[in-house]
Structure 1
Protein backbone atom coordinates (compact mmCIF):
# COMPACT_ATOMS: atom_id res chain seq x y z
CA UNK A 1 0.00 0.00 0.00
CA UNK A 2 2.71 2.49 0.98
CA UNK A 3 4.69 1.56 -2.09
CA UNK A 4 1.74 2.41 -4.36
CA UNK A 5 1.26 5.74 -2.63
CA UNK A 6 4.96 6.53 -2.98
CA UNK A 7 4.99 5.55 -6.68
CA UNK A 8 1.94 7.74 -7.34
CA UNK A 9 3.53 10.70 -5.57
CA UNK A 10 6.87 10.19 -7.30
CA UNK A 11 5.50 9.81 -10.82
CA UNK A 12 2.70 12.36 -10.66
CA UNK A 13 3.95 14.96 -8.20
CA UNK A 14 7.73 14.68 -8.14
CA UNK A 15 8.46 18.39 -7.67
CA UNK A 16 5.91 18.83 -4.89
CA UNK A 17 7.17 15.71 -3.12
CA UNK A 18 10.80 16.81 -3.25
CA UNK A 19 9.91 20.39 -2.30
CA UNK A 20 7.81 19.34 0.68
CA UNK A 21 10.46 16.84 1.83
CA UNK A 22 13.16 19.51 1.60
CA UNK A 23 10.94 21.90 3.52
CA UNK A 24 10.31 19.32 6.24
CA UNK A 25 14.02 18.56 6.49
CA UNK A 26 15.03 22.23 6.76
CA UNK A 27 12.17 22.91 9.15
CA UNK A 28 13.20 20.03 11.42
CA UNK A 29 16.76 21.30 11.52
CA UNK A 30 15.57 24.68 12.75
CA UNK A 31 13.09 23.17 15.19
CA UNK A 32 15.77 20.96 16.71
CA UNK A 33 18.07 23.95 17.10
CA UNK A 34 15.31 25.72 19.02
CA UNK A 35 15.43 28.94 17.01
CA UNK A 36 12.10 28.82 15.22
CA UNK A 37 8.47 28.46 16.21
CA UNK A 38 5.92 26.16 14.63
CA UNK A 39 4.60 28.86 12.28
CA UNK A 40 8.03 29.34 10.76
CA UNK A 41 8.26 25.57 10.31
CA UNK A 42 4.92 25.55 8.48
CA UNK A 43 6.05 28.47 6.30
CA UNK A 44 9.21 26.61 5.31
CA UNK A 45 7.25 23.47 4.43
CA UNK A 46 4.70 25.47 2.42
CA UNK A 47 7.46 27.30 0.54
CA UNK A 48 9.04 23.99 -0.46
CA UNK A 49 5.64 22.68 -1.55
CA UNK A 50 4.90 25.85 -3.56
CA UNK A 51 8.22 25.74 -5.40
CA UNK A 52 7.74 22.02 -6.13
CA UNK A 53 4.23 22.70 -7.41
CA UNK A 54 5.57 25.33 -9.83
CA UNK A 55 8.18 22.84 -11.05
CA UNK A 56 5.47 20.22 -11.64
CA UNK A 57 3.53 22.72 -13.75
CA UNK A 58 6.63 23.42 -15.85
CA UNK A 59 7.00 26.99 -14.56
CA UNK A 60 10.14 28.61 -13.20
CA UNK A 61 10.58 27.82 -9.50
CA UNK A 62 10.85 31.47 -8.49
CA UNK A 63 9.23 34.01 -10.87
CA UNK A 64 11.94 36.69 -10.57
CA UNK A 65 10.86 38.63 -13.68
CA UNK A 66 7.24 38.82 -12.52
CA UNK A 67 8.30 40.01 -9.07
CA UNK A 68 10.61 42.67 -10.51
CA UNK A 69 7.89 43.88 -12.89
CA UNK A 70 5.40 44.07 -10.00
CA UNK A 71 7.86 46.00 -7.85
CA UNK A 72 8.74 48.40 -10.64
CA UNK A 73 5.07 49.08 -11.34
CA UNK A 74 4.31 49.54 -7.65
CA UNK A 75 7.19 51.89 -6.85
CA UNK A 76 7.36 53.84 -10.08
CA UNK A 77 7.67 57.58 -9.45
CA UNK A 78 4.83 59.50 -11.05
Structure 2
Protein backbone atom coordinates (compact mmCIF):
# COMPACT_ATOMS: atom_id res chain seq x y z
CA UNK A 1 0.00 0.00 0.00
CA UNK A 2 2.90 2.37 0.68
CA UNK A 3 4.10 1.92 -2.87
CA UNK A 4 0.83 3.33 -4.24
CA UNK A 5 0.94 6.22 -1.76
CA UNK A 6 4.47 7.05 -2.90
CA UNK A 7 3.45 6.87 -6.54
CA UNK A 8 0.41 9.05 -5.87
CA UNK A 9 2.41 11.68 -3.96
CA UNK A 10 5.32 11.79 -6.38
CA UNK A 11 3.54 11.34 -9.71
CA UNK A 12 -0.05 12.43 -9.26
CA UNK A 13 -0.45 13.89 -12.74
CA UNK A 14 1.04 10.88 -14.51
CA UNK A 15 -1.09 8.51 -12.43
CA UNK A 16 -4.28 10.41 -13.22
CA UNK A 17 -3.28 10.68 -16.87
CA UNK A 18 -2.68 6.95 -17.21
CA UNK A 19 -5.92 6.13 -15.39
CA UNK A 20 -7.92 8.51 -17.57
CA UNK A 21 -6.18 7.26 -20.70
CA UNK A 22 -6.82 3.65 -19.67
CA UNK A 23 -10.50 4.35 -19.03
CA UNK A 24 -10.94 6.07 -22.39
CA UNK A 25 -8.85 3.39 -24.06
CA UNK A 26 -11.01 0.62 -22.61
CA UNK A 27 -14.12 2.35 -23.90
CA UNK A 28 -12.56 2.59 -27.34
CA UNK A 29 -11.31 -0.99 -27.14
CA UNK A 30 -14.85 -2.32 -27.35
CA UNK A 31 -15.89 -0.22 -30.35
CA UNK A 32 -12.91 0.45 -32.64
CA UNK A 33 -10.62 -0.84 -35.31
CA UNK A 34 -6.89 -1.21 -34.69
CA UNK A 35 -7.72 -1.58 -31.04
CA UNK A 36 -4.26 -2.17 -29.65
CA UNK A 37 -2.62 0.77 -31.42
CA UNK A 38 -5.29 3.29 -30.52
CA UNK A 39 -5.42 2.01 -26.93
CA UNK A 40 -1.64 2.43 -26.60
CA UNK A 41 -1.82 5.90 -28.13
CA UNK A 42 -4.55 7.01 -25.73
CA UNK A 43 -2.70 5.66 -22.69
CA UNK A 44 0.55 7.30 -23.82
CA UNK A 45 -1.25 10.61 -24.37
CA UNK A 46 -2.62 10.45 -20.83
CA UNK A 47 0.86 9.67 -19.51
CA UNK A 48 2.40 12.54 -21.50
CA UNK A 49 -0.15 15.07 -20.24
CA UNK A 50 0.27 13.81 -16.68
CA UNK A 51 4.05 14.10 -16.96
CA UNK A 52 3.70 17.69 -18.12
CA UNK A 53 1.43 18.41 -15.15
CA UNK A 54 3.92 16.85 -12.71
CA UNK A 55 6.69 19.07 -14.04
CA UNK A 56 4.50 22.19 -13.83
CA UNK A 57 4.75 22.76 -17.57
CA UNK A 58 1.79 23.89 -19.66
CA UNK A 59 0.01 20.94 -21.25
CA UNK A 60 -0.27 22.73 -24.58
CA UNK A 61 2.31 25.53 -25.03
CA UNK A 62 0.05 27.82 -27.06
CA UNK A 63 2.41 30.80 -27.02
CA UNK A 64 5.40 28.79 -28.27
CA UNK A 65 3.26 27.13 -30.96
CA UNK A 66 1.91 30.49 -32.09
CA UNK A 67 5.44 31.94 -32.29
CA UNK A 68 6.63 28.91 -34.29
CA UNK A 69 3.73 29.23 -36.74
CA UNK A 70 4.33 32.95 -37.21
CA UNK A 71 8.02 32.31 -37.94
CA UNK A 72 7.07 29.70 -40.55
CA UNK A 73 4.50 31.93 -42.21
CA UNK A 74 6.92 34.86 -42.56
CA UNK A 75 8.64 32.95 -45.34
CA UNK A 76 5.57 33.43 -47.55
CA UNK A 77 5.36 37.20 -47.17
Aligned to 1:12: 10
Selected match of 1:74 from 59, 72, 77: 72
5+ residue gaps, structure 1, are none
State the 1:23 CA deviation: 0.5
- Kindly report the root-mean-square deviation, in angstroms, between the aligned alpha carbons of the 2 structures: 1.5
Q: Deviations over 1:11-69 (max 9, x none)?
A: 00000000111001001100012345211111111111111101100111221222222
5+ residue gaps, structure 2, are none
Distance 2:72 2:31 in 1: 38
When the two structures are superposed, what TM-score results if normalisation uses the length of structure 1? 0.84
Distance 2:27 2:34 in 1: 10
